[in-house]
Each structure stands twice: as C-alpha cells, then as structure tokens.
Amino acid sequence: IGVKVGGTGFLEKELDLILRAGPDFLSVTGLEGGFWDGKAGPIDSWASMGLPTLHLLVRTRRFLEERKLCGKVTLLAGGGRVTPMDFLKAMALGADAVFIGFAALVALVRPQASLFSRRLPIDRLFYGKGKGIHVSQAAHGLANFLKAAVAEMQAAALRMGKNHLRDVGLDDLSSVDRDLAAYLGIGWCGGWKEEPWYGQSRGYNFSRKED
C-alpha cells in the first residue's frame, strides 16, 4: 500500500503527513508527467503546477535518508521519464524504481515508432486508432520496449564499469547546468580540474587572462 504524490514547495510537510500512515512505497511524479517533454503538445495550467521530477525525486530521497527510511519505504519516480537513460539517471539519483505512462502508451499504440517520432500529445497519439488496436501486437510492443530499455540500461552501466544497475550513483552523473548540478549533488562538467585533462596542452596556461 502506498501513496502517489505530486510535490509542491511544501513537499517535506506533505511527506511528513504521508509517512505517519506507514506506507510501503512513495510514488512521486513531477510536473512533466503526461508529456514527452515541455514542448510536446499544448501545455495547460495544470502542467505548470508542482515541482520538476528531478527536484522532487532528490528532495524526497533526502527526506527519507534523514528519517532513516531508505530501504523501508520504496521510492518510485515518474513524470517525463521516457528513455532508458531517463530511467537510469532517476535510479542513480535515488529512485528504487521508475514508473512510466506516456512512453508505455506509445509502445502500445505505435510499437514500430522511432524514438524521436514519439513526440506526440495524447490526443494525436490515439487519433484514428479507436477500436482498431491489435491487443496482441500492442502487448508485444510494450514488452519489447521494456526489455530493450533494461538491456540499454545494463549496457550503459557496464560501460561505466559497474556490475549492477544499483551501482550507478551520483558520482557517475554530471550536468552542463551549474545550478542544477549543485542542487542534485552531482558534478558540473564545465569546470576545469587541477590536473591537465586528456588532450590538453601542458604549454598553455588556461588560468591566464587574455589581453
């Protein structure tokens, strides 16, 4: 038995109330839920309410850590997660598992669609389908998507030298957005390291100011 919540600025107060009921899991969904991304389809006022998924996930994970509830309350994350790398990043940020909605619908209705052709609002996704959906084909489409997603996540983990998906963590993430990196507690990929980077000329002083 668990609770699904779309967090607000009062997230910690909300979580405190929810956890008093002793749920088995917390399912947190960000404001991106229901859309491929913020540019896919019409955005109404409801889609602008709440916290982005990554911010919501990190705050919830930190709250559970402070309460020493990690491992006791399962943390599920969703909302705008549509690719295997989305799933793996969410797990690296602290989610025990990821749930999907729109990506699953695409796999059901358009199992042969390429990744970037899936940027469709819900109404256009089902346009002309009606009762013509082939149930068996749709089921295979979803099953293939999930299997392929797991395989891609495993391949990515192996490339990082990990033995299991659970071994991928914050140290393996970085962001081009300095503020987001600081908020999530991951590296910022725009900073220079003290030692010379691979391919960097040792004869050039990057700290000097140009005239």
Encoding tokens for residue 65? 């850590």
CA distance 90 to 170: 10
Q: Residue 132 pLDDT more than 70?
A: no
pLDDT at 6: 84
SS3 of 63-106: the string is HHHHCCCECCEEEEEECCCCCHHHHHHHHHCCCCEECCCHHHHH
148-202, pLDDT tens digit by residue?
A: 999 999 999 999 999 899 899 888 888 888 888 888 888 888 765 544 444 443 3
77-129, pLDDT tens digit by residue?
A: 998 888 899 999 999 999 999 999 888 888 887 765 544 444 555 555 566 65
pLDDT at 128: 60
pLDDT at 48: 63
Q: How many CB atoms lie within 10 A of CB 202?
A: 6
Q: Are 101 and 53 contacting, i.e. CB atoms less than 8 angstroms apart?
A: no
Three-class SS state of 145: helix
CA distance 77 to 157: 19
pTM of the model: 0.75
